[in-house]
Amino acid sequence: MPDTSFDLFHSASALWFVILASLCISFVALVISVMRARQSLREPATSEPLPVRALLREFEKNGHSPEASLVNWSPQTLRGILAKELPDAQVIVVSNREPYIHNLEGDSIDLVVPASGLVSALEPITRACGGTWIAYGGGSADHLVVDRNDRIEVPPDNPSYTLRRVWLTDEEQQGYYLGFANEGLWPLCHIAFTRPIFRTSDWETYEAVNRKFADTVIAEARNERPIVLVQDYHFALLPRMIRERLPEAIVITFWHIPWPNSEVFSICPWREKILDGLLGSSIIGFHTQFHCNNFVESVDRFLESRIEREDSAISYGGQTSLVHAYPISIEWPPAQLGKLPDVAQCRARIREKFGMADDVSLCVGVERLDYTKGILDRFHALDELLKQHPQWIGKVALLQIAAPSRGTLPAYQQLYEECVRCADEINERYGSDGYTPVLMVAEHHSQEQVYEIYRAAEVCMVTSLHDGMNLVAKEFVAARDDEQGVLMLSMFAGASKELLESLIVNPYDATMMAEALLQALTMASDEQRQRMRRMREIVRDNNVYRWAGSMLLDAARLRKRDALDRAMAAPPAAGGKLISIFDHKRVAAL
């Protein structure tokens, strides 16, 4: 029989032991936390150039407040922000692609606005803000129309800013643009399963061309403190180069394409240098939070830095960069709409132009001929629809506008050939006299022509395999003031996070896309109206002026914070009086 009194004695001792041990542990924990608190009071993160948390909290409170959505964002709003928040700041935009290209056509000079989301977004902004846009002068007549400083005032019909052209040799274009940017970084950043190609000679040229643009920024800057808007993956090294020579400049870098996860990014042999270059920026912008997170992960993995994850800020080499999502957009209302007739007339004109019968439903695809855009997948979806629902043969056609792009690269040549082959096969299979299911037009179209096509279409197919934002989706919505038409939108385009009333599709799933196409073609007019109305509200409210305005407001707050920091760091004045944080005059004068 067990001895119960012995057991009870042991249980009571064990209980006392547990209580005593817990008290000891709590006491030690208390002592440690008090010591830590005292330590942090003695050393308030003085190694940080900016109190990141406080700064970011302020940003969140102001920059992305609910009131921002109540503002009617327009060119006037932007000008107001510049005048009030950033007085005397010179705006300098830097991009590879220029907003206006002058080409020699026989004896005359043709003016071309390139097919580029970047240009569609930045042009109205630069028109509103004034300033200087620095870009590669790639047109055959570009050098004929500039002044002796390589400048020209644009837009040609109503000049409001300066275009400063930078000349590149064929070798520079080959190594920096075609090579490193478009055979290396472009496929690296897009999940399209095209292998990136990295060559040391391309990298060296990329670095040299970034340096050339940095020299031009310095030459164009009227003072030490311009606001430089660096655009896209052609200029990953430029922010650092500007920062070294103009430490007080505000450098806002916007990356127009996705940022890959850190494992994919690790493929790039110069990954640390690219990150270091970008972290010369005051603000680094992406279209989506997802891409911000990928960028922050990459920095975390490859650089010694301090990351405030919650606030999306990175302190590196004594400087803080904010990493924020600013979804890009288009101007509202779009300038093209004023130039076009009503939808019925656009519809009739496009049908006549492309020889389409009136009872054929028109689907359109509009983009640069690029393997990330899912053009072939769109063709496959139509093929699948006609296979599964043969009653649509003769009743639906796809007009594919594909602006030639980066055409000397093998991947682009191959894509063109595959598109033509696939279109021919579908036309062979289902076409008949007077009916061509796929019309592939690989030519540049002006924005006005593109808007006319949007207005003529029943369905717009945006089926990118991967896309930072995709402005075609927003342009289609903006073009439809009749509130009709259906948008099919890839779940892998940034725009799908905003345009939730579109038919969201997976471009890799031809069966699903064919069903979505059927749904689009048979959607009642009332449902089209409801969806389109909501999407139009979203594009109207989140227009491109809001995109730029949010970045400029953030820049203004950075500048004020910088002024304060410098005031606090400045040595005492001759009389020995310390500058107080409340010495507004001194701060304002800086």
| Residue 116 interacting with ligand F6P (CB under 6 A) | yes
Pairing of strands 108-112, 101-105: antiparallel
Which residues, 6 or more positions from 87, have their beta carbon under 8 angstroms from its beta carbon? none
Nearest distance, CB of residue 467 and ligand F6P, angstroms: 7
| Residue 118 interacting with ligand F6P (CB under 6 A) | yes
| Residue 99 interacting with ligand F6P (CB under 6 A) | no
Of positions 406, 480, 531, 559, contacts ligand F6P by CB under 6 A: 406
In 3D space, the residue among 217, 212, 259 whose CA is nearest the CA of residue 93 turns out to be: 217
Q: Are 280 and 273 in contact (CB under 8 A)?
A: no
Q: Are 456 and 315 in contact (CB under 8 A)?
A: no
Q: Scanning residues 341 to 380, which ones bind ligand F6P (CB under 6 A)?
A: 368
- Of 373 and 455, which has the nearer Cβ to ligand F6P? 373
Of positions 98, 142, 207, 232, contacts ligand F6P by CB under 6 A: 232
Of positions 127, 165, 240, 256, contacts ligand F6P by CB under 6 A: 256
C-alpha–C-alpha distance, residues 568 and 511, integer Å = 64
- Of 95 and 528, which has the nearer Cβ to ligand F6P? 95
Largest CA distance in the chain: 117
- Of 202 and 384, which has the nearer Cβ to ligand F6P? 202
Contact code string over 200-229 relative to ligand F6P, x by CB under 6 A: ------------------------------
Please enumerate, as own/partner, the contacts of 53-62 that have beta carbons within 8 Å and a separation of 24 or more: 53/308, 53/310, 53/311, 55/311, 55/313, 55/320, 55/557, 55/561, 56/308, 56/310, 56/311, 56/312, 56/313, 56/322, 57/311, 58/557, 59/322, 59/324, 59/554, 59/557, 60/311, 62/553, 62/557
- Of 117 and 365, which has the nearer Cβ to ligand F6P? 117
| Stretch near ligand F6P under the rule CB under 6 A, chosen from 77-85, 110-118, 336-344, 358-366 | 110-118
Nearest distance, CB of residue 397 and ligand F6P, angstroms: 27
Nearest distance, CB of residue 200 and ligand F6P, angstroms: 22
| Residue 138 interacting with ligand F6P (CB under 6 A) | no
- Of 207 and 232, which has the nearer Cβ to ligand F6P? 232
C-alpha–C-alpha distance, residues 351 and 358, integer Å = 7
| Stretch near ligand F6P under the rule CB under 6 A, chosen from 48-56, 114-122, 143-151, 318-326 | 114-122
Q: Residue 399: which H helix or E strand, with range? A: strand 396-403
Nearest distance, CB of residue 234 and ligand F6P, angstroms: 7
Nearest distance, CB of residue 95 and ligand F6P, angstroms: 8
Q: Are 465 and 373 in contact (CB under 8 A)?
A: yes
Nearest distance, CB of residue 35 and ligand F6P, angstroms: 52
Q: Are 465 and 189 in contact (CB under 8 A)?
A: no
| Residue 405 interacting with ligand F6P (CB under 6 A) | yes
Distances (CA, A) of 386 to 378, 382, 431, 437, 515: 13, 6, 11, 10, 11
C-alpha–C-alpha distance, residues 545 and 551, integer Å = 10
- Cis preceding linkage at 247, omega within 30: no
| Residue 123 interacting with ligand F6P (CB under 6 A) | no
For the CA atoms of 412, 414, 415, 421, the dihedral, rounded to the nearest 10 degrees, stands at 150
- Of 240 and 256, which has the nearer Cβ to ligand F6P? 256
| Residue 257 interacting with ligand F6P (CB under 6 A) | yes
Terminal CA-CA length for the chain = 90
| Residue 127 interacting with ligand F6P (CB under 6 A) | no
| Stretch near ligand F6P under the rule CB under 6 A, chosen from 7-15, 111-119, 309-317, 336-344 | 111-119
Q: DSSP for 71-99?
A: S---HHHHHHHHHHHSTTPPEEEE-SS-S
Nearest distance, CB of residue 572 and ligand F6P, angstroms: 49
Kindly calculate the radius of gyration of the chain based on its CA atoms and give it in whole angstroms: 29
| Residue 77 interacting with ligand F6P (CB under 6 A) | no
| Residue 291 interacting with ligand F6P (CB under 6 A) | no
- Of 406 and 480, which has the nearer Cβ to ligand F6P? 406
Site size for ligand F6P, by CB under 6 A? Answer: 11
- Cis preceding linkage at 333, omega within 30: yes
C-alpha–C-alpha distance, residues 454 and 72, integer Å = 26
| Stretch near ligand F6P under the rule CB under 6 A, chosen from 69-77, 115-123, 140-148, 304-312 | 115-123
Residue in this structure with the two tokens 């920095």, named with its chain if needed: 299
| Residue 485 interacting with ligand F6P (CB under 6 A) | no
Structure tokens at 123: 């042009």
C-alpha–C-alpha distance, residues 236 and 272, integer Å = 11
Distances (CA, A) of 566 to 53, 251, 280, 560, 571: 19, 18, 18, 10, 10
- Of 185 and 499, which has the nearer Cβ to ligand F6P? 185
Nearest distance, CB of residue 96 and ligand F6P, angstroms: 6
- Of 209 and 556, which has the nearer Cβ to ligand F6P? 209
| Residue 97 interacting with ligand F6P (CB under 6 A) | yes
| Residue 117 interacting with ligand F6P (CB under 6 A) | yes
Contact code string over 295-334 relative to ligand F6P, x by CB under 6 A: ----------------------------------------
Nearest distance, CB of residue 181 and ligand F6P, angstroms: 8
Tell me which residues touch ligand F6P (CB under 6 A): 96-97, 116-118, 232, 256-257, 368, 405-406
